[in-house]
């Protein structure tokens, strides 16, 4: 072994510290992703209420209480989207995650390679 290879080798403790740092980074990235989804959800809810209040105001001042309440349709449609965004931000089971799909594909590829061997 030459001097350069000796310098590149890590002790077991250094290796463990490096692995721990890498795991912390992965966990931080996952938490950051969740935090971004939750923040985006809260902003969407705020915008939902402001815009729908504006639509109700337009309805009220243009046609009054005795007319058809048309703002219910945009409220309903947008509300469904808000519900899905809530599930993604707070109750995400990972059923549609990229990581889960990647693992499925990796397992499938490994199974196919094992069948060929």
Q: Which two tokens stand for residue 96?
A: 């549609």
Neighbours of 75 (CB within 10 A): 18
Is the per-residue pLDDT at 2 higher than 60?
no
Closest CA to 52 of 76, 80, 68, 71: 71
Q: Whole-prediction pTM value?
A: 0.65
Distance CA 88, CA 60 (A): 34
Is the per-residue pLDDT at 69 higher than 60?
yes
Asked whether 71 and 59 are in contact (CB, 8 A), the reply is yes
Packing angle between helix 72-90 and helix 12-63, nearest 10 degrees?
170
3-state secondary structure of 117: coil
Is the per-residue pLDDT at 102 higher than 50?
yes
Distance CA 60, CA 48 (A): 18
Is the per-residue pLDDT at 1 higher than 50?
no
Instruction: Give the domain ranges of the chain.
Output: 7-90
7: pLDDT confidence band, cut at 50, 70 and 90? Answer: low
pLDDT in tens, 33-60: 888 999 999 999 999 999 999 999 999 9
63: pLDDT confidence band, cut at 50, 70 and 90? Answer: very high
Q: Which two tokens stand for residue 82?
A: 């808000």
């Amino acid at each position: 072994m030459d001097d350069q290879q000796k310098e590149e080798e890590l002790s077991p403790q250094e290796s463990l510290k490096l692995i721990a740092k890498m795991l912390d980074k992965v966990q931080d990235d996952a938490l950051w992703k969740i935090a971004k989804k939750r923040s985006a959800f809260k902003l969407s809810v705020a915008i939902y209420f402001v815009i729908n209040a504006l639509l109700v105001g337009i309805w009220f001042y243009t046609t009054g209480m005795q007319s058809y309440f048309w703002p219910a349709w945009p409220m309903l449609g947008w509300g469904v989207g808000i519900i899905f965004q809530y599930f993604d931000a707070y109750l995400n089971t990972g059923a549609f995650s990229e990581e889960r799909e990647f693992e499925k594909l990796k397992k499938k590829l490994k199974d196919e390679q094992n069948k060929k061997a």
